[in-house]
Amino acid sequence: MLIGVIAIQGDVSEHVDALIRALEERGQSADIVTIKHKGIVPGCDALILPGGESTTLGRLLIREGIADEIRQLHLSGKPIMGTCAGLILLAKEGDEQVKKTHQHLLGIMDTTVNRNAFGRQRESFETELELPFLNSPYTAVFIRAPGIVGCGKDVTVLAKMDGKVIAAEQGNILALAFHPELTFDTRVHQYFLNKLF
């Protein structure tokens, strides 16, 4: 098993550490590879798009030729998880903010996103949420967080906050507006790994 983490920019090492912890807890093993260039994604069995700046990530995914590889990986049904900026990149449509910067989206999830749905940094927050798919309270970290404001029929809403979708899946794709990689709670990574193992 090979799990890729897109490493162009953002909190990559945090995702790698979270994966290592989650795999240890399961007693399962997988190789983890960080990806900055094309040619590696096609060999992955699962992929994570980390948090970061979606505008930057989107541009470099195209420039480095990785964007098309991710679309191909999705077509082959491999699990893909996007957190925060990753949730934006997975989307099909963006709001005004996304459009005005000609942001590149992967368009593999039938969602419309609002780039900074939860405000600027001063509005960023952590809070306890009831997340039914993890079946107990969960401390979620929202940093200049996006939200999903429109979903196609194949998208399952996993959690909402203030009327915006903050966790959703579509087949093997999992998108989260918050950062499971910034806390020691591995349940989200476990949920994702369940799609792989």
Partner 1 sequence: MELEKLRHGTELIKRGFAKMQKGGVIMDVTTPEQARIAEEAGAVAVMALQAVPADIRKAGGVARMADPQIIADIIDTVTIPVMAKARIGHFVEAEILQALGVDMVDESEVLTPADHKYHIEKTDFTVPFVCGARNLGEALRRMNEGAAMIRTKGEAGTGDVSEAVKHMKQIQGEIRALKGMTREEMVRIAREIEAPFELVLETAQMQRLPVVNFAAGGVATPADAALMMRLGADGVFVGSGIFKAEIPEKMAIAIVEAVNNYDNPEVLAKISKGIGAGMKGISVDTIPQDQVLQTRGW
| Window contacting partner 1 (CB under 8 A); options: 72-80, 105-113, 141-149, 188-196 | 141-149
| Window contacting partner 1 (CB under 8 A); options: 40-48, 58-66, 72-80, 105-113 | 58-66
Site for partner 1 in 16-35 (CB under 8 A): none
Shortest separation between residue 84's beta carbon and partner 1, angstroms: 7
Site for partner 1 in 157-176 (CB under 8 A): 159-161
Binding flag, residue 93, partner 1 (CB under 8 A) = no
* Residue 15 annotated among the catalytic residues of the structure: no
Among 3, 4, 5, 8, binds partner 1 (CB under 8 A): 8
Shortest separation between residue 98's beta carbon and partner 1, angstroms: 8
DSSP annotation string for the chain = -EEEEE-SSSSHHHHHHHHHHHHHHHT---EEEEESSTTSGGG-SEEEE-SS-HHHHHHHHHHTT-HHHHHHHHHTT--EEEETHHHHHHEEEE-HHHHHTT------EEEEEETTTT-SGGG-EEEEEEEGGGTEEEEEEESS--EEEEE-TTPEEEEEETTEEEEEEETTEEEESS-GGGSS--HHHHHHHTTT-
170: closest CA among 103, 88, 74? 74
Q: Which is nearer to partner 1, 66 or 79 (CB)?
A: 66
Among 10, 82, 86, 180, binds partner 1 (CB under 8 A): 10
Catalytic residue among 84, 104, 169, 189: 84
Residue listed under structure tokens 């906050």 = 161
Q: Which is nearer to partner 1, 45 or 64 (CB)?
A: 64
27 torsion bin: left (phi>0), alpha (psi -120 to 50), beta (else): left
Catalytic residue among 74, 104, 179, 189: 179
- Residue ranges that bind partner 1, judged by CB under 8 A: 7-14, 36-37, 51-53, 55-56, 59-60, 63-64, 84-85, 97-98, 100-101, 103, 115-116, 120-130, 137, 141, 143-144, 159-161, 179, 182-183
